[in-house]
Amino acid sequence: MSINFRATHLFLAAIAVIGVAIGEPEHSAVRAAGGGRRSDTQQTQKADGSRSVWDGVYTAEQAKRGAPLYTQYCASCHGPSLEGGEMSPALVGLDFTSNWNGLTLGDLFERMRVSMPQNDPGSLSRQQNADILACVLSSNKFPAGTTELALKTEVLKEIRFVAFKPQ
């Protein structure tokens, strides 16, 4: 009985490892949809570092963690719903997304990390900034995924900020 249980456990662990080796959550979606081999080409694309904000680069959990941080550190100027204030730009909507279109998440992360909150720049940790960034992405309706945002700027620079959903 216990051996059986262990075997099942190992089996599940093996599947998990294979899953990680295969990579991005899209692959399982493609397979589930019967896409079959197309996952091979997808994987090559991913290896080229062509990830964008449309690929589920943060988690819903992380965005939830970021929301109270945003309220505490950013909302006084950027508004309770990121809509912007008298002097401060909106962090949601087309003005914001087109402003960052073609840049990377690393650029946006650095902008926040170095120059914000404007009344105490650089005071938040990388983790806090990443969580707030997840909240900003969620507010702009970019899809959540299964992996949290990295805390390293170099890694975030590999994720392109693309305002419009690729067709």
Q: Which residues contact 94 (CB under 8 A, 6 or more apart)?
A: 163
Q: How far is CA 34 from CA 19, 31, 45, in A?
A: 17, 5, 19
67 contacts ligand HEC (rule: CB under 6 A): no
Number of residues that bind ligand HEC (CB under 6 A): 20
Draw the binding track, 93-112, toward ligand HEC (x: CB under 6 A; -: no contact): ---x--x-----------xx
Q: Which residues contact 132 (CB under 8 A, 6 or more apart)?
A: 66, 69, 70, 73, 74, 112, 124
88 contacts ligand HEC (rule: CB under 6 A): yes
62 in Cβ contact with 138 (< 8 Å)? no
78 contacts ligand HEC (rule: CB under 6 A): yes
Residues forming a β-bridge with 160? 52, 104
Draw the binding track, 28-47, toward ligand HEC (x: CB under 6 A; -: no contact): --------------------
115 contacts ligand HEC (rule: CB under 6 A): yes
117 contacts ligand HEC (rule: CB under 6 A): yes
User: Residues in the site for ligand HEC, rule: CB under 6 A?
Assistant: 73-74, 76-78, 87-89, 91, 96, 99, 111-112, 115-119, 124, 132
